[in-house]
């Protein structure tokens, strides 16, 4: 099951050139495939929710997945956060100087990081790291019958493999976002320090002066939705993998592509909703 989105994204150029005779049936097939994909995803989510809410709960496995996800993503998000902070400071500084608003620099950098850059960068980095990992791992387990073996030994794979990973993604993303925010702000200050001698205390003070709870909490917590998307999409791709190593490769690639795409689309909606409810 490739999914229309992945199909469009991975399509070679030659196929994009429209063949008039095929167009209508192609559109028909696309639509069928598109709705079929969502149908399967909905069934998958239904099964996932049913498994997740009924006891027994797989607490040990959840802790293991939480730890695994956190420890493997932490260096990456810290690095991505640091780079974002530096880039943001350097480019914003230049613009602000032109407008004679240099004193706003700490506020602009900090607002930008906690409200948007931090959450989205974290989500995209984790979708690259964890979605590929989960898609490939579950895909490999599926094609080598390990998922069947688990089911045959009376363990629900949706509970043991899927629910634990989805929950780990959901709860880990806000924490990783805090890490990104921290390193972003810290390195933002360092980058600024290279140009003008301003203390960290002053930078933080100037930056956070007008920050309210509503500027910080909703954007950080929206990453729970990003985590949900990463977890659900990668587990869905993994659990539906078939056809040997190629199937595993497809599951991993599609997990990353679709998770990143859905994160960006969901962000549009979430930013709008946060503006409506929290400003």
The least CB distance from residue 46 to other proteins, in Å, is 14
CB nearer other proteins, residue 2 or residue 156: 156
* Of residues 125 and 140, the one with the C-beta less far from other proteins: 140
Q: How far is the CB of 231 from other proteins (least distance, A)?
A: 18
Task: Kindly identify the residues of this chain, within the stretch 138-157, that bind other proteins according to CB under 8 A.
Answer: 140-141, 144-146, 148-156
Rank residues 144 and 210 by Cβ distance to other proteins and give the closer one: 144
- Which residues in 166-195 contact other proteins (CB under 8 A)? none
Q: Which stretch binds other proteins (CB under 8 A): 3-11, 103-111, 135-143, 174-182?
A: 135-143
Which of 20, 9, 26, 125 shows the shortest CA–CA distance to 72? 125
Interface pattern 95-134 for other proteins (x via CB under 8 A): ----------------------------------------
Q: In this structure, how many other beta carbons lie within 10 angstroms of the beta carbon of residue 259?
A: 29
Nearer to other proteins, 12 or 55 (CB): 55
- Min dist CB 131 to other proteins, Å, is 18
Binding-site residue total for other proteins (CB under 8 A)?
Answer: 15
Residue whose C-alpha is closest to residue 227's, from 99, 73, 40, 60: 73
User: Hey, what's the torsion of the CAs at 49, 221, 65, 80, to 10 degrees?
Assistant: 140
* Crossing angle between the packed helical segments 118-126 and 213-221, to the nearest 10 degrees: 10
Length of the chain: 279
Question: Which sign, positive or negative, has the C-alpha torsion 43, 46, 48, 54?
Answer: negative
Tell me the closest approach of the beta carbon of residue 1 to other proteins, in angstroms: 13
Residues 17, 258, 256, 143, Cα dihedral to 10°: -90
What gap in Å lies between CA 29 and CA 9, rounded to an integer? 16
Binding site for other proteins (CB under 8 A): 137, 140-141, 144-146, 148-156
């Amino acid at each position: 099951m490739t999914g229309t989105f992945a199909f469009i994204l991975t399509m070679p150029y030659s196929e994009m050139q429209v063949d008039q005779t095929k167009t209508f049936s192609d559109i028909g097939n696309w639509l069928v495939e598109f709705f079929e994909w969502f149908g399967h995803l909905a069934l998958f989510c239904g099964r996932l929710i049913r498994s997740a809410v009924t006891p027994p709960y797989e607490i040990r496995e959840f802790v293991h997945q939480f730890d695994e996800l956190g420890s493997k993503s932490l260096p990456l998000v810290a690095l991505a956060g640091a780079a974002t902070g530096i880039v943001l400071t350097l480019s914003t500084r230049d613009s602000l100087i032109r407008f004679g608003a240099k004193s706003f620099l700490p506020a602009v950098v900090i607002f930008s990081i906690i409200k948007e850059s931090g959450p989205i960068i974290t989500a995209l980095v984790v979708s690259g790291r964890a979605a590929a990992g989960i898609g490939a791992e579950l895909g490999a387990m599926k094609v080598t019958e390990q998922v069947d073996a688990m089911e045959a030994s009376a363990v629900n794979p949706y509970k043991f493999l899927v629910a634990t990973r989805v929950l780990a993604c959901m709860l880990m993303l806000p924490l990783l976002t805090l890490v990104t925010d921290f390193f972003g702000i810290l390195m933002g200050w360092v980058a600024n320090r290279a140009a003008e001698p301003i203390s960290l205390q002053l930078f933080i003070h100037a930056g956070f002066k007008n920050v309210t709870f509503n500027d910080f909490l909703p954007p950080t917590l929206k990453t729970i939705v990003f985590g949900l998307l990463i977890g659900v999409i990668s587990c869905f791709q993994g659990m539906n993998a078939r056809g040997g190593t190629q199937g595993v490769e497809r599951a991993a690639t599609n997990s990353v592509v679709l998770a990143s795409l859905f994160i960006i689309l969901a962000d549009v909606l979430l930013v709008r909703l946060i503006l409506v409810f929290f400003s």
